[in-house]
Structure 1
């Protein structure tokens, strides 16, 4: 009798849910398991729209247990505390329990995300009688708890009848900016008066997306009355007061720490190779350095400088793109056959930010564009992704996939393409985003068209 091999996935991140859905195996030769500290995973791309009140929270969730059951994976609800790669063991605690359990594996994959990188001297107020009080400090990671924290603040602010709700978002990357805009849209509906601020040590907003995108985001913040403190490191966040390096001080009722990703402390203690920042170092095959039977993906990894010191950044788009490579390579290693794929992160990708009011700001190829069509495109892409992992059964008993991609490529002139991208509102409701998407597709595959379109934009 042949002993079944064990594939163990630790964490329910964007890469791992693709493995669960797409991994093909026989239950006679492979036992597949996923362990996660939560029975649900949140799709980060949809959360700003949730916080703004544009879509229900449920739409952003992936329910891991039914997804696993539909694809012959065993789901375990538990918190991993240690990994022993030498003896191929994972240690974990059951929910609300200090009892430690052990799992053996033949092949392991890790996709556990990250925590929020702290700023200087941050302190949470002391709780009285186990009741949360204002001012409140909220961290964006783990992302699963963010909506609950925002809702808690909203309730506390209403209960306190604040004459003016004061919110500060520390960090002006894509996540911080989207959150600030979402909070402004949400809180101005539910509270009498709200002041929202963005603080960043960098000189521009969303600096990773380029000058034009940063200018578009800054213009949107000014239009909405969001106050910006740019190029000023934070000295402390405590006792309801934010202090900046230049001496500026202001009070807050809620401080949202959106300063980017930091590695989980326990990952450093696994015996796996980590870099100076604590990220798991992987080869281009997504195998952890020095361990052919251990893989990792998502925010918790580093390629050890293979693509540059800070590349790829901690962004969900890379975790999504790593999923097919990870799935393929896990199949090959477990089957002891075939060549492993190498992952190459794309240097340029379409970035779409929700502004929290039914519009969006997008950037690609150094070009920034905005309008209702941008949000419709973002919502379409996000919904299409989520639909893949919603378990619904067809009449023949198979799990059904979601909607198909939009077909077609733009066949007009570069000037016409530029006009479509720079149109802030839809030409008419039936156009939605399809024409603009077809322009972006042609820019991807037609260098001459792209260069001509960018010249048209620069001349306007």
Structure 2
């Protein structure tokens, strides 16, 4: 599909990119040959009948018109995408009944938005949506460390895919995708069926190993399956002795099992002398950092309560060690942020070891090879003792990516990670009817965003637009115009500490305190609320083509910006009296206005120098 020519069936549509700020923004009529879509701006795509007479008079004599706001801001109202085809609304059009099938593989952060938006009340009658996932629920990665720290229950951090699909009128198949059948490149304009192959366990059989295979036909398929834990299956002993961070439900379950054993030891011994606990976390990224803090909070509280609230023995009985392969933690952050992080790890007694590569895991030791800071010289081997080891290394691609590459020639990255390669439209570079979003894919011809949930979330509206445009184009038409996804350069990073505080990074400023945790908790709960079926049932008055892509941080009626000096003083505060909503508005205004951001940062530098 060519992304630069007008859509075949959505010709004459007007595209309105509206970013509602605290003050009104001006709009102007422009016509361009390509459509740039920022993750901080959102679209409302309207059928020509929705245009006013004035709009119709002023429309250029081209295939479509765009009304684009002067600047996309972070603050915006509830967003809706409306996609409609004049031919699909024409009762005399005999092609309208032709069934189009969309298959969603995986219930990731982008796909839950697709399910919500393309529900049976909004999508065209001739579009059938199927979701395939091995699990009946999807975990929200941002809340998992909080779940490990016992700040949330497992149910609170999971999106119920079965209920969401049922509400949306989406077919849900709980099974494992094992492959696809695709037409050869020279056959793609033929009638050869495209199929997804799914293995489904027979729930009615006493033998849980009995599976049936189902072939699911599709016209367009999208893949949002996240990632797996790097090197977990290749480092000897890791999969046998370590607790992996994926799947998340298994992570929580394994920690609960180990915790029960710890509690049993505490009950069966006199005092704490025989309950020394050594937790080793492999991986110095955000996941490893948060999990080490979570385990300190979780098991520290157990040991403290067992000893009548006395914390003094805990220092010798509970050790948490984080193994990092880099020279320092989060090297991409500013010096101020890295210093704040190092101070935090010291405060919570997290031992950090740098420049280590794990070579093997035994039942009692993690064997590592240390290396010099220039990465050229390998040093001596060392054995680090542990009682519990959590494997929290970075992400790598799913086995499914490799299978699809071998079976069908789907393009994946040439490194050992196995990412599905997509263009700026989230479209496979080898198969135009295949899309991918989230951790499982990598963008080509530009810097691909880090493997972080926020990018999958922001990709959701773009994916919805492009899936619908692909589904509503003429068969065999390569002229469908797609929306471009431009990942944001940076984002608010929030690390929970497990005790009701959090550490955040934005614009090179370290943010810390109870208010930072309250902000993180608020953001995460707002995201989960978007897919709570009880909330969705209250908003069922939707029209065909009215696709709700509301984001978790949608804001209305924001107060005027604080004075830059006051804003700077607020951001560096760590006391419990800070209102997180006020601080969040400061950060939003800094994102929206470069001049305001620069003035706030100027005063932040002054304030921190005087501390």
Do the structures match in fold with TM over 0.5? yes
Tell me: higher relative CO, structure 1 or 2? Use CA pairs within 8 A at least 6 residues apart.
Answer: 2
Q: Deviations over 1:322-371 (max 9, x none)?
A: 11100111111111176310111111111111111100111111111111
Q: How does 1:432-443 map to 2 (within 5 A)?
A: 432-443=579-590
Alignment of 1:262 onto 2:396: yes
**Residues 14 and 396 of structure 1: CA distance in aligned 2, closer, same or farther (over 3 Å):** closer
Alignment of 1:49 onto 2:146: yes
Query: Which entry has the higher C-alpha Rg, 1 or 2?
Result: 2
Alpha-carbon shift at residue 397 of structure 1 (Å): 5.8
Moved more, 147-156 or 318-327: 147-156
Alpha-carbon shift at residue 36 of structure 1 (Å): 0.3
Partner SS, residue 356 of structure 2: coil
Are 1:137 and 1:257, in contact at CA under 8 Å, matched by a contact in 2?
A: yes
Partner SS, residue 312 of structure 1: coil
Specify which of 315, 320, 324 is matched with residue 196 of structure 1. 320
Are 2:150 and 2:298, in contact at CA under 8 Å, matched by a contact in 1?
A: yes
The two structures have a TM-score, normalised by structure 1, of 0.91
**Residues 265 and 404 of structure 1: CA distance in aligned 2, closer, same or farther (over 3 Å):** closer
Are 2:238 and 2:360, in contact at CA under 8 Å, matched by a contact in 1?
A: no
Are 1:410 and 1:435, in contact at CA under 8 Å, matched by a contact in 2?
A: no
Q: What is the CA RMSD across the aligned residues, in angstroms? A: 2.3
Q: Deviations over 1:250-290 (max 9, x none)?
A: 21111111111011123112121111131100111111112
Distance 1:390 1:322 in 2: 20
Where in structure 1 do 4 or more consecutive aligned residues deviate above 6 Å?
399-404
Distance 1:9 1:212 in 2: 42
Are 2:502 and 2:514, in contact at CA under 8 Å, matched by a contact in 1?
A: yes
> Counterpart in 1 of 2:85?
none
Partner SS, residue 207 of structure 1: coil
Distance 1:263 1:252 in 2: 28
Specify which of 197, 212, 218 is matched with residue 91 of structure 1. 197
Gaps of 5+ in 2: 1-93, 184-192, 202-207, 267-273, 307-316, 371-380, 475-479, 543-547
Specify which of 346, 356, 362 is matched with residue 232 of structure 1. 356
Are 1:282 and 1:296, in contact at CA under 8 Å, matched by a contact in 2?
A: yes
**Residues 218 and 239 of structure 1: CA distance in aligned 2, closer, same or farther (over 3 Å):** same
Distance 2:276 2:239 in 1: 20
Are 1:70 and 1:391, in contact at CA under 8 Å, matched by a contact in 2?
A: yes
> Counterpart in 2 of 1:123?
237
Q: Deviations over 1:109-164 (max 9, x none)?
A: 111111100167330587xxxxxxxxx41111223322112112212223344511
Q: How does 1:301-320 map to 2 (within 5 A)?
A: 301-304=441-444, 306-308=445-447, 311-320=448-457
Alpha-carbon shift at residue 433 of structure 1 (Å): 0.4
Specify which of 397, 411, 426 is matched with residue 286 of structure 1. 426
Q: Deviations over 1:409-437 (max 9, x none)?
A: 5533322111101111233xxx5301111
> Counterpart in 2 of 1:131?
none
Specify which of 390, 405, 420 is matched with residue 570 of structure 2. 420
Specify which of 255, 264, 288 is matched with residue 150 of structure 1. 255
Alpha-carbon shift at residue 179 of structure 1 (Å): 0.7
The two structures have a TM-score, normalised by structure 2, of 0.69
Specify which of 337, 357, 373 is matched with residue 515 of structure 2. 373
Are 2:177 and 2:400, in contact at CA under 8 Å, matched by a contact in 1?
A: no
